[in-house]
Structure 1
């Protein structure tokens, strides 16, 4: 058995998402399990180097997880031929130039979404990576959640008959920062820093819809800044310039209508922070982060509108749990393993920078729809990429 080591430059992992999901629950977890077993009996072992601007944070993070290498010099890291992969989890406004430098250095690219703040920049990154011949991918973690994997299984079984509509509810109350600290960083609420829930969540909804139901062909989106002032990490008040809620309707290529409410200003009264209801002619399903429940045509109760008497139906009855039928690992870790094998073994990996650009395109059109207060068609970005 041979150990195939691959160096990974991890830029921006001192942030919340970079630390928890990408470093601790993905790369460190892969190392702790002894690497990734390959089909030929070899083992693939990532060797990270942590990169960022804050020397104190980098050193503390590296020491806490027994990582030998860290640096504040990105250029020097990119010059090291032993590190084949560049990963970016920085704030979105910093991403484009760093990814361009990594492509120029010949690194394979894996990065968080959104890949840029404009679709033009996102498409440029996809083109540069393709022209340079480097492998590339973007994080699309929701596809690997247990609840959505179960929902995909239900769809593939033909359970729904003809799918009619999709309704998504996502969000939770993010504290303003005065009487309780906020759960999200303050830059999320500043447009000038790349913040906003439209650019964040519509990138997710684009790949979820495309993977499960069909490509988005038109969008109507209304954004809002419900909380106009918040308190930052230093206890200072600041004006929120980025949207904290989005109410979006999508028309898919096959006639399915999807509507997603995304909000950091909603108090949760549902089973999970994400809930997606799918209704079809022969059945319905409600999927969350981990669970999925279905109701068939023959199990559907006959509801009758009569507000003058107590409702006799418990609408939570007559739904069945979709069983796990297997074990589920952390969604970020699953995709990391797929990308690492893609680089080393040339196995397929469909979630490219072009797919990331499609998410940015949809978010950009969502913001335009809000500004112009109208429906907008979604052009085929793949055609533009090939032209």
Structure 2
């Protein structure tokens, strides 16, 4: 395998494990900004991933897509050789023995077919979520990868955010005692596109194109809840479309057929209850675009993308309800900042480094296509719960 070859010690490139990565979808916002620029190119800028034995993993991106002119522009901007770093024929790329990993950040509707081809070609797979448009499809990918013996990973970036890493530190240290509840607020106002351009692509709001906030965000909530607090055992959700008409990239109006807000209640293993609101039709009155409040018998914490504040049982004030008098407590000032105590890297980059170490060195890696299937399952059950108006159990998955 190309990832396992070591180059000679002749120059500064000596002792590099070169890993060639076909990146499909880098003309999109997330694929370009987070995965190419802030992850793989950032890894190259730091000299690769130091393995501690005088060798380093060196990622070699191959930009794949249908819009050759856009790919060539990206390659030129970042000093990549257009003759070797740009391709428009995915089948030819997957047939190339020098390609080690296939990465997918396309629109969801195109993902399952492309990943299937990559697995059948014997490529290791790293992908954005959701991994497929249905649970059956997501499980099929996980089974195919297991049978093929390829390594596979799914982006679960929020686990690597500074705020949630500090929150996990509190969980692991027993700060909360028995965890009672988790309350999450996510979202912001996405402009309709008529008098100001929308911050998100129009396909996000068309169900027929794989859009909707449930399929986008419930996979995130599944792995956050699963990794920090316990497996989701049941879901009750209400999904709705608050803004029924939007304007696309060409300024043309269209019907928003996908949900743009979802209100979910999740029962977790161990008895804790999570409530998470997700909305692209909410104006932000919180410190960060996503915040989670965790309440336990011994303490509470509020974590966002970067900050985490805590309040221990011994330092909890005693507010008294009296609507006849103005509030005298400055509640937010009564919480203590949880210190960083370390330097936090970009979350996408941190996970890329773990996956590349997994491919090259076989180091443990748990965020695989089965983890991705759990996210698809929760989204599917969330939509079904909303349609049927009832709470649904979340069965454990297996290959």
TM-score by length of 1: 0.98
The match for 2:354 among 335, 338, 355 is: 338
The match for 1:50 among 43, 63, 67 is: 63
SS in 1 for 2:334: coil
**Rounded Cα–Cα distance in structure 1 between residues aligned with 2:214 and 2:80:** 35
SS in 2 for 1:381: coil
Pairwise CA distance, 1:317: 2.2
SS in 1 for 2:267: strand
Matched, 1:348 2:350: no
Pairwise CA distance, 1:36: 0.5
SS in 2 for 1:103: helix
Equivalent residue, structure 1, for 2:7:
none
Aligned length: 383
Pairwise CA distance, 1:157: 1.1
Equivalent residue, structure 2, for 1:262:
278
SS in 2 for 1:81: coil
Matched, 1:33 2:49: no
Matched, 1:196 2:212: yes
SS in 1 for 2:332: coil
Pairwise CA distance, 1:40: 2.0
SS in 2 for 1:63: helix
Equivalent residue, structure 2, for 1:276:
292
Pairwise CA distance, 1:39: 2.7
Equivalent residue, structure 2, for 1:224:
240
Equivalent residue, structure 2, for 1:65:
78
SS in 2 for 1:117: coil
SS in 1 for 2:110: helix
Equivalent residue, structure 2, for 1:11:
24
Structure 2 matches for 1:178-327, cutoff 5 A? 178-327=194-343
Pairwise CA distance, 1:332: 0.2
SS in 2 for 1:317: helix
**Rounded Cα–Cα distance in structure 2 between residues aligned with 1:298 and 1:349:** 38
- CA RMSD of the aligned region, Å? 0.7
Q: Deviations over 1:177-196 (max 9, x none)?
A: 01110000000000000000
Unaligned runs of 5+ in 2: 1-13
Unaligned runs of 5+ in 1: none
**Rounded Cα–Cα distance in structure 2 between residues aligned with 1:27 and 1:243:** 33
TM-score by length of 2: 0.95
**Rounded Cα–Cα distance in structure 2 between residues aligned with 1:310 and 1:79:** 70
Q: Deviations over 1:39-72 (max 9, x none)?
A: 3220110111000011111111111111221010
Pairwise CA distance, 1:126: 0.3
Pairwise CA distance, 1:313: 1.1
SS in 2 for 1:155: helix
> Where has structure 1 moved over 4 Å in runs of 4 or more?
none
